[in-house]
Amino acid sequence: MLKRVALLAAVALGALCAGAAAATAHPLLVTSAPAPGSIIPGSPSTVALAFSEEAVASGSGVTVTGPHGPVQLGRLTPSDGGRQLASKVRGRLAPGVYRIHWVALGDDGHNVSGQFAFGVAKANGSPPLGASAGLGGAGTAGRGGSGSSPGVVTTMALWLGVLAAALLWAGLLLVTALRRRRVTGADAAQKRLAAVGRPALIVAGTAALYGALQ
């Protein structure tokens, strides 16, 4: 019976860990062309983005804004199983600083968004006007296109909640098994489980509350 309880607890922990891993897996920007903060010698023909996870093209988008307003782009085309999204640039981009804003829809239904800038050099190869102040690295926002990606504290809170939930499940299963078998000393075991379960419940509740506020 105790072996069966341990097996059920392991299965529950595995399921919880799998759910937690899926919750933290979002399509994050890995590389792009043009690259964030770069100055390219001429007008790009395509804006291409590569992500860490598969992105749903129908729910994703890319916009480019320059010194003279929005830039016309073609249809967003996926490749590499959805890990890459590309859109053709219609027309030629004049020298200047351009800002790309992207939104990637993950398989879990959550959006991840970000923005970065690149520059198109002048005809003589010199940096465009405003390049020193307008160029910067890539940025990433989290769920719904606003907020931030899961940080260290958020991730720790999530895994603490998973661990606490697994401990509680294991405790409940063990108490049930002891009651059914009427094992001698079950009261003492229940007391020990309660001593472990109370702080675990506090940790789980705190983690759940913190996650809900994010």
* Per-residue H/E/C for 56-95: EEEEEEEEEEECCEEECECCCEEEHHHCEEEEEECCCCCC
| Mean pLDDT of all residues belonging to the chain | 74
- What are the b/e assignments for 125-135, b being 16+ CB within 10 Å? eeebeebeebb
Q: Give bridge partners of residue 153 from the DSSP assignment.
A: none
- What are the b/e assignments for 103-113, b being 16+ CB within 10 Å? bbbbeeebbbb
Residue 201 CB: number of other CB atoms within 10 A? 15
pLDDT, position 179: 58
pLDDT, position 108: 85
pLDDT exceeds cutoff 80 at 126: yes
If pLDDT is split at 50, 70 and 90, which confidence band does 7 have? very low
pLDDT exceeds cutoff 50 at 75: yes
CA–CA separation, 128 and 97 (whole Å): 7
Question: Angle at CA 170, nearest 5°, toward 168 and 172?
Answer: 70
The answer to whether the beta carbons of residues 117 and 98 sit under 8 Å apart is yes
pLDDT, position 94: 96
pLDDT exceeds cutoff 70 at 144: no
pLDDT, position 141: 46
pLDDT exceeds cutoff 80 at 194: no
Tell me the two tokens of residue 206: 């705190």
Question: Average pLDDT, stretch 162-184?
Answer: 55
Beta pairing, strands 46-51 & 84-88: antiparallel
Every domain of the chain and the residues it spans: 2-23+151-213, 27-145
pLDDT, position 31: 95
CATH class of 27-145: mainly beta
Half-sphere exposure at residue 57, Cβ-oriented, CA atoms within 13 angstroms? 16
Question: Average pLDDT, stretch 57-80?
Answer: 96
pLDDT exceeds cutoff 60 at 145: no
pLDDT exceeds cutoff 70 at 45: yes
Question: Average pLDDT, stretch 22-35?
Answer: 82
Q: Is the dihedral of CA 63, 66, 72, 75 positive or negative?
A: negative
pLDDT, position 200: 60
Tell me the two tokens of residue 38: 């770069």
Half-sphere exposure at residue 92, Cβ-oriented, CA atoms within 13 angstroms? 7
DSSP-derived letter for residue 129 is T
pLDDT exceeds cutoff 70 at 91: yes
Question: Is 159 in a helix, a strand, or coil?
Answer: helix
